[in-house]
Amino acid sequence: MLEIASALLAVLRGGEPVAVVTVVRVTRSAPRGVGTAMALTRGGDVIGSISGGCVEGDAILLATDVLATGRARTADLGFSDDAAHAAGLACGGSVAVVVHRIEPTDAAAIAALVSAAADEPTAVGLVSSGPHAGRIVELAGADALDDTRMLENAYDGCDVLAVVHRPRPALVIVGAGDHAMALSRVGSAAGFAVTVCDVWERLVTAERFPTADHRVVGLPSDELRELVSDPARAAVCVLTHDERVDVPAIAAALRLGVGFVGAMGARSTVAHRARLLRESGVADSEIARLHSPLGLDLGGASPAETAVAVLAEIVAARHGAPGSSLRDGDGPLHRRSPMTTDAVCIPSLQDVTR
Protein backbone atom coordinates (compact mmCIF):
# COMPACT_ATOMS: atom_id res chain seq x y z
CA MET A 1 0.00 0.00 0.00
CA LEU A 2 2.96 2.30 0.47
CA GLU A 3 3.59 2.59 -3.27
CA ILE A 4 0.13 4.17 -3.74
CA ALA A 5 0.27 6.17 -0.52
CA SER A 6 -0.57 9.59 -1.98
CA ALA A 7 -3.67 8.33 -3.78
CA LEU A 8 -4.88 6.42 -0.71
CA LEU A 9 -4.42 9.46 1.51
CA ALA A 10 -6.54 11.57 -0.84
CA VAL A 11 -9.44 9.13 -0.41
CA LEU A 12 -9.04 8.65 3.34
CA ARG A 13 -8.74 12.39 4.00
CA GLY A 14 -12.03 12.77 2.20
CA GLY A 15 -13.63 10.67 4.92
CA GLU A 16 -14.07 7.51 2.83
CA PRO A 17 -12.70 4.03 3.56
CA VAL A 18 -10.75 2.13 0.92
CA ALA A 19 -10.20 -1.58 0.29
CA VAL A 20 -6.57 -2.56 -0.37
CA VAL A 21 -5.39 -5.73 -2.09
CA THR A 22 -1.77 -6.57 -1.21
CA VAL A 23 0.38 -9.31 -2.75
CA VAL A 24 1.95 -11.38 0.05
CA ARG A 25 3.37 -14.26 -2.00
CA VAL A 26 4.31 -14.82 -5.64
CA THR A 27 4.50 -18.26 -7.26
CA ARG A 28 6.25 -18.66 -10.60
CA SER A 29 5.71 -15.94 -13.21
CA ALA A 30 4.17 -12.67 -12.09
CA PRO A 31 5.05 -9.15 -13.23
CA ARG A 32 4.75 -7.47 -9.82
CA GLY A 33 6.48 -8.40 -6.58
CA VAL A 34 5.52 -9.06 -2.99
CA GLY A 35 4.16 -5.92 -1.31
CA THR A 36 2.56 -4.59 -4.49
CA ALA A 37 -0.93 -3.25 -3.85
CA MET A 38 -4.04 -1.96 -5.57
CA ALA A 39 -7.11 -0.38 -4.02
CA LEU A 40 -10.81 0.15 -4.63
CA THR A 41 -12.84 3.14 -3.52
CA ARG A 42 -16.56 3.27 -2.74
CA GLY A 43 -17.04 5.16 -5.97
CA GLY A 44 -15.56 2.25 -7.92
CA ASP A 45 -12.23 3.88 -8.73
CA VAL A 46 -9.28 1.48 -8.97
CA ILE A 47 -5.91 2.69 -7.72
CA GLY A 48 -2.76 0.85 -8.78
CA SER A 49 -2.31 -2.66 -10.13
CA ILE A 50 -1.01 -5.99 -8.88
CA SER A 51 -0.40 -7.76 -12.20
CA GLY A 52 -0.44 -7.27 -15.92
CA GLY A 53 -4.24 -7.41 -15.79
CA CYS A 54 -4.93 -11.15 -15.57
CA VAL A 55 -6.04 -11.18 -11.91
CA GLU A 56 -7.34 -7.63 -11.49
CA GLY A 57 -10.95 -8.68 -12.11
CA ASP A 58 -10.93 -11.19 -9.27
CA ALA A 59 -9.08 -8.73 -7.04
CA ILE A 60 -11.75 -6.09 -7.62
CA LEU A 61 -14.51 -8.57 -6.72
CA LEU A 62 -12.73 -9.39 -3.46
CA ALA A 63 -12.16 -5.72 -2.72
CA THR A 64 -15.83 -4.95 -3.37
CA ASP A 65 -16.86 -7.53 -0.79
CA VAL A 66 -14.32 -6.33 1.79
CA LEU A 67 -15.31 -2.71 1.24
CA ALA A 68 -18.95 -3.62 1.90
CA THR A 69 -18.45 -5.94 4.87
CA GLY A 70 -15.27 -4.65 6.48
CA ARG A 71 -14.07 -8.25 6.90
CA ALA A 72 -10.57 -8.93 5.57
CA ARG A 73 -10.04 -11.84 3.19
CA THR A 74 -7.13 -13.85 1.84
CA ALA A 75 -7.04 -15.57 -1.54
CA ASP A 76 -4.83 -17.15 -4.16
CA LEU A 77 -5.26 -15.59 -7.59
CA GLY A 78 -3.90 -16.90 -10.86
CA PHE A 79 -3.42 -20.07 -12.85
CA SER A 80 -0.96 -22.83 -13.57
CA ASP A 81 0.82 -22.46 -16.92
CA ASP A 82 -1.45 -25.06 -18.60
CA ALA A 83 -4.64 -23.55 -17.23
CA ALA A 84 -3.53 -20.05 -18.14
CA HIS A 85 -2.80 -20.98 -21.73
CA ALA A 86 -6.10 -22.84 -21.99
CA ALA A 87 -7.85 -19.70 -20.83
CA GLY A 88 -6.00 -17.59 -23.38
CA LEU A 89 -3.77 -15.84 -20.84
CA ALA A 90 -0.16 -15.03 -21.61
CA CYS A 91 1.48 -16.61 -18.57
CA GLY A 92 0.93 -18.83 -15.57
CA GLY A 93 1.83 -18.16 -11.99
CA SER A 94 -0.24 -17.05 -9.04
CA VAL A 95 -0.23 -14.51 -6.26
CA ALA A 96 -1.50 -14.80 -2.71
CA VAL A 97 -3.22 -11.64 -1.54
CA VAL A 98 -4.65 -10.11 1.59
CA VAL A 99 -7.61 -7.80 1.10
CA HIS A 100 -8.43 -5.42 3.93
CA ARG A 101 -10.29 -2.18 4.53
CA ILE A 102 -8.56 0.95 5.78
CA GLU A 103 -10.72 3.42 7.65
CA PRO A 104 -10.04 7.17 7.76
CA THR A 105 -9.46 6.70 11.52
CA ASP A 106 -6.81 3.94 11.22
CA ALA A 107 -3.94 5.73 12.97
CA ALA A 108 -1.20 3.18 12.19
CA ALA A 109 -2.13 3.00 8.50
CA ILE A 110 -2.45 6.76 8.13
CA ALA A 111 0.92 7.38 9.79
CA ALA A 112 2.65 4.94 7.44
CA LEU A 113 0.94 6.41 4.38
CA VAL A 114 1.89 9.96 5.35
CA SER A 115 5.52 8.93 5.81
CA ALA A 116 5.68 7.07 2.49
CA ALA A 117 3.95 9.88 0.61
CA ALA A 118 6.66 12.22 1.90
CA ASP A 119 9.24 9.77 0.48
CA GLU A 120 10.61 9.01 3.93
CA PRO A 121 11.92 5.58 5.06
CA THR A 122 8.81 3.68 6.11
CA ALA A 123 7.90 0.19 7.27
CA VAL A 124 4.53 -1.14 8.36
CA GLY A 125 3.32 -4.64 9.14
CA LEU A 126 0.36 -6.36 7.47
CA VAL A 127 -0.81 -9.56 9.16
CA SER A 128 -1.10 -11.99 6.26
CA SER A 129 -2.45 -15.18 7.82
CA GLY A 130 -4.67 -16.47 10.57
CA PRO A 131 -7.55 -14.77 12.36
CA HIS A 132 -5.82 -11.38 12.39
CA ALA A 133 -5.21 -11.28 8.61
CA GLY A 134 -5.52 -7.76 7.26
CA ARG A 135 -4.60 -6.05 10.51
CA ILE A 136 -2.10 -3.20 10.23
CA VAL A 137 0.59 -3.27 12.93
CA GLU A 138 3.40 -0.92 13.72
CA LEU A 139 6.91 -2.37 13.50
CA ALA A 140 9.50 -1.69 16.17
CA GLY A 141 13.04 -1.88 14.83
CA ALA A 142 11.78 -1.07 11.33
CA ASP A 143 14.93 0.91 10.54
CA ALA A 144 16.75 -2.41 10.21
CA LEU A 145 14.55 -3.43 7.27
CA ASP A 146 15.74 -2.50 3.79
CA ASP A 147 13.22 -4.47 1.75
CA THR A 148 9.72 -5.90 1.93
CA ARG A 149 9.76 -9.37 3.47
CA MET A 150 7.71 -11.93 5.33
CA LEU A 151 8.14 -12.29 9.09
CA GLU A 152 6.96 -15.76 10.03
CA ASN A 153 4.87 -16.31 13.19
CA ALA A 154 5.60 -12.72 14.19
CA TYR A 155 2.17 -11.67 15.46
CA ASP A 156 0.30 -13.97 17.81
CA GLY A 157 1.46 -16.97 15.75
CA CYS A 158 0.49 -15.32 12.45
CA ASP A 159 2.76 -14.28 9.60
CA VAL A 160 3.36 -10.58 9.05
CA LEU A 161 4.38 -8.99 5.78
CA ALA A 162 6.74 -6.12 6.55
CA VAL A 163 5.97 -3.66 3.77
CA VAL A 164 8.92 -1.32 3.30
CA HIS A 165 9.21 1.96 1.41
CA ARG A 166 12.66 3.29 0.70
CA PRO A 167 13.14 6.84 -0.53
CA ARG A 168 13.60 7.15 -4.27
CA PRO A 169 17.22 6.77 -5.34
CA ALA A 170 18.89 9.98 -6.40
CA LEU A 171 19.81 10.67 -10.01
CA VAL A 172 22.08 13.70 -10.24
CA ILE A 173 22.52 15.03 -13.77
CA VAL A 174 25.56 17.22 -14.24
CA GLY A 175 24.95 19.55 -17.16
CA ALA A 176 21.72 21.05 -18.46
CA GLY A 177 21.79 20.49 -22.21
CA ASP A 178 19.36 18.63 -24.47
CA HIS A 179 20.55 15.19 -23.36
CA ALA A 180 20.09 16.22 -19.73
CA MET A 181 16.52 17.36 -20.45
CA ALA A 182 15.69 13.97 -21.94
CA LEU A 183 17.38 12.03 -19.13
CA SER A 184 15.53 14.09 -16.52
CA ARG A 185 12.20 13.09 -18.05
CA VAL A 186 12.89 9.37 -18.28
CA GLY A 187 14.64 9.29 -14.91
CA SER A 188 11.65 10.87 -13.17
CA ALA A 189 9.28 8.46 -14.93
CA ALA A 190 11.42 5.53 -13.73
CA GLY A 191 11.12 6.57 -10.09
CA PHE A 192 14.34 8.47 -9.47
CA ALA A 193 14.55 11.71 -7.49
CA VAL A 194 16.17 13.82 -10.18
CA THR A 195 18.48 16.76 -9.53
CA VAL A 196 19.96 18.83 -12.35
CA CYS A 197 23.10 20.83 -11.59
CA ASP A 198 24.87 23.27 -13.90
CA VAL A 199 26.91 26.44 -13.62
CA TRP A 200 24.63 28.27 -16.09
CA GLU A 201 21.55 29.65 -14.36
CA ARG A 202 19.67 30.35 -17.58
CA LEU A 203 19.82 26.64 -18.47
CA VAL A 204 18.64 25.22 -15.13
CA THR A 205 15.02 26.35 -15.34
CA ALA A 206 11.63 24.84 -14.56
CA GLU A 207 10.64 25.28 -18.20
CA ARG A 208 13.53 23.11 -19.37
CA PHE A 209 13.34 20.61 -16.49
CA PRO A 210 9.70 20.46 -15.36
CA THR A 211 9.95 16.94 -13.90
CA ALA A 212 13.16 17.47 -11.92
CA ASP A 213 12.81 17.45 -8.14
CA HIS A 214 15.67 19.91 -7.68
CA ARG A 215 17.42 22.39 -9.97
CA VAL A 216 20.77 23.59 -8.63
CA VAL A 217 23.01 26.32 -10.00
CA GLY A 218 26.63 25.92 -8.99
CA LEU A 219 29.81 23.97 -9.53
CA PRO A 220 28.71 20.30 -9.41
CA SER A 221 31.84 19.10 -7.63
CA ASP A 222 31.13 21.54 -4.80
CA GLU A 223 27.41 20.74 -4.59
CA LEU A 224 27.52 16.96 -4.89
CA ARG A 225 27.91 16.02 -1.23
CA GLU A 226 24.79 18.00 -0.34
CA LEU A 227 22.83 16.51 -3.23
CA VAL A 228 23.45 12.83 -2.41
CA SER A 229 22.25 11.59 0.99
CA ASP A 230 22.58 7.87 0.19
CA PRO A 231 25.60 7.50 -2.12
CA ALA A 232 25.40 3.72 -2.52
CA ARG A 233 21.92 3.96 -4.10
CA ALA A 234 22.59 7.10 -6.11
CA ALA A 235 23.54 7.63 -9.74
CA VAL A 236 25.52 10.57 -11.06
CA CYS A 237 25.58 11.18 -14.81
CA VAL A 238 27.99 13.77 -16.17
CA LEU A 239 26.69 15.15 -19.46
CA THR A 240 28.87 18.25 -19.79
CA HIS A 241 31.54 18.83 -22.41
CA ASP A 242 33.87 20.95 -20.31
CA GLU A 243 36.69 19.14 -18.54
CA ARG A 244 36.92 21.98 -16.03
CA VAL A 245 33.47 20.90 -14.82
CA ASP A 246 33.19 17.22 -15.61
CA VAL A 247 36.54 15.95 -14.32
CA PRO A 248 36.12 17.44 -10.81
CA ALA A 249 32.50 16.23 -10.76
CA ILE A 250 33.49 12.67 -11.68
CA ALA A 251 36.31 12.68 -9.13
CA ALA A 252 33.94 13.93 -6.42
CA ALA A 253 31.31 11.31 -7.23
CA LEU A 254 33.84 8.46 -7.22
CA ARG A 255 35.39 9.60 -3.93
CA LEU A 256 31.95 9.95 -2.39
CA GLY A 257 31.22 6.29 -3.14
CA VAL A 258 28.29 6.94 -5.48
CA GLY A 259 26.95 3.59 -6.65
CA PHE A 260 26.73 4.48 -10.34
CA VAL A 261 28.94 7.13 -11.92
CA GLY A 262 28.74 7.69 -15.66
CA ALA A 263 29.98 10.23 -18.17
CA MET A 264 29.18 10.86 -21.81
CA GLY A 265 31.91 11.35 -24.36
CA ALA A 266 33.73 9.91 -27.33
CA ARG A 267 36.34 7.22 -26.66
CA SER A 268 39.14 9.74 -27.11
CA THR A 269 37.45 11.99 -24.54
CA VAL A 270 37.10 9.06 -22.16
CA ALA A 271 40.82 8.30 -22.41
CA HIS A 272 41.73 11.97 -21.92
CA ARG A 273 39.47 12.22 -18.86
CA ALA A 274 41.05 9.12 -17.37
CA ARG A 275 44.48 10.73 -17.59
CA LEU A 276 43.20 13.90 -15.94
CA LEU A 277 41.53 11.90 -13.19
CA ARG A 278 44.78 10.07 -12.45
CA GLU A 279 46.63 13.38 -12.36
CA SER A 280 44.10 14.67 -9.81
CA GLY A 281 44.82 11.70 -7.55
CA VAL A 282 41.95 9.35 -8.39
CA ALA A 283 43.08 5.74 -8.16
CA ASP A 284 42.82 3.37 -11.12
CA SER A 285 40.50 1.13 -9.10
CA GLU A 286 38.07 4.05 -8.77
CA ILE A 287 38.37 5.06 -12.42
CA ALA A 288 37.48 1.47 -13.32
CA ARG A 289 34.07 2.06 -11.73
CA LEU A 290 33.28 4.85 -14.18
CA HIS A 291 30.69 3.99 -16.85
CA SER A 292 32.06 5.86 -19.82
CA PRO A 293 31.14 6.06 -22.64
CA LEU A 294 27.78 6.14 -20.91
CA GLY A 295 24.80 4.00 -21.89
CA LEU A 296 23.97 0.61 -23.35
CA ASP A 297 24.44 0.13 -27.08
CA LEU A 298 20.85 0.43 -28.31
CA GLY A 299 21.79 2.03 -31.63
CA GLY A 300 19.92 5.30 -31.11
CA ALA A 301 21.47 8.74 -31.35
CA SER A 302 18.82 11.34 -30.49
CA PRO A 303 18.73 12.84 -26.99
CA ALA A 304 15.61 10.82 -26.13
CA GLU A 305 17.09 7.57 -27.43
CA THR A 306 20.35 8.27 -25.64
CA ALA A 307 18.47 8.93 -22.40
CA VAL A 308 16.79 5.53 -22.66
CA ALA A 309 20.18 3.89 -23.23
CA VAL A 310 21.66 5.69 -20.21
CA LEU A 311 18.76 4.79 -17.94
CA ALA A 312 18.93 1.19 -19.15
CA GLU A 313 22.56 0.96 -18.06
CA ILE A 314 21.76 2.49 -14.67
CA VAL A 315 18.95 0.01 -14.05
CA ALA A 316 21.06 -2.93 -15.21
CA ALA A 317 23.93 -1.90 -12.94
CA ARG A 318 21.62 -1.44 -9.94
CA HIS A 319 20.31 -4.98 -10.31
CA GLY A 320 23.55 -6.63 -11.37
CA ALA A 321 22.07 -7.59 -14.74
CA PRO A 322 24.00 -7.88 -18.02
CA GLY A 323 21.61 -5.73 -20.04
CA SER A 324 21.16 -8.47 -22.64
CA SER A 325 17.96 -9.44 -24.46
CA LEU A 326 15.54 -11.54 -22.41
CA ARG A 327 14.99 -13.62 -25.54
CA ASP A 328 18.56 -14.89 -25.32
CA GLY A 329 18.33 -16.00 -21.70
CA ASP A 330 16.48 -18.62 -19.70
CA GLY A 331 15.04 -18.92 -16.20
CA PRO A 332 12.72 -16.46 -14.44
CA LEU A 333 12.17 -13.11 -16.13
CA HIS A 334 11.98 -11.16 -12.88
CA ARG A 335 14.86 -11.01 -10.41
CA ARG A 336 13.55 -10.75 -6.87
CA SER A 337 15.18 -10.77 -3.47
CA PRO A 338 14.55 -13.89 -1.37
CA MET A 339 11.79 -13.50 1.21
CA THR A 340 13.82 -13.95 4.35
CA THR A 341 12.69 -13.60 7.94
CA ASP A 342 14.44 -11.13 10.18
CA ALA A 343 14.17 -10.74 13.93
CA VAL A 344 11.94 -7.68 14.20
CA CYS A 345 9.99 -6.80 17.30
CA ILE A 346 6.24 -6.78 16.64
CA PRO A 347 3.90 -5.11 19.12
CA SER A 348 1.47 -7.27 21.04
CA LEU A 349 -2.22 -7.30 20.20
CA GLN A 350 -3.17 -4.67 22.76
CA ASP A 351 -0.54 -2.29 21.37
CA VAL A 352 -2.17 -2.07 17.96
CA THR A 353 -4.29 0.95 17.14
CA ARG A 354 -7.15 0.33 14.71
Confidence band, pLDDT 50/70/90 cuts, at residue 354: very low
pTM comes to 0.82
- Non-local (6+) Cβ contacts of 338 within 8 A are none
Taking the C-alpha atoms of 171, 172, 174 and 176 in order, what is their torsion angle to the nearest 10 degrees?
A: 70
In whole angstroms, give the CA distance from residue 257 to residue 143: 22
Phi first, then psi: give them for residue 121, nearest 5 degrees.
Answer: -60, 125
In whole angstroms, give the CA distance from residue 325 to residue 191: 23
- pLDDT tens for 130-171 read 999 999 998 876 667 788 999 998 888 999 999 999 999 999
Lowest mean pLDDT among 7-11, 109-113, 350-354: 350-354
From 261, 167, 176, select the one nearest 215 (Cα to Cα): 176
158-165 β-sheet, strand order: 136-137, 122-127, 158-165, 149-155
Q: What size, in residues, is the chain?
A: 354
Neighbours of 143 (CB within 10 A): 9
- pLDDT tens for 39-70 read 999 999 999 998 766 788 899 999 999 999 99
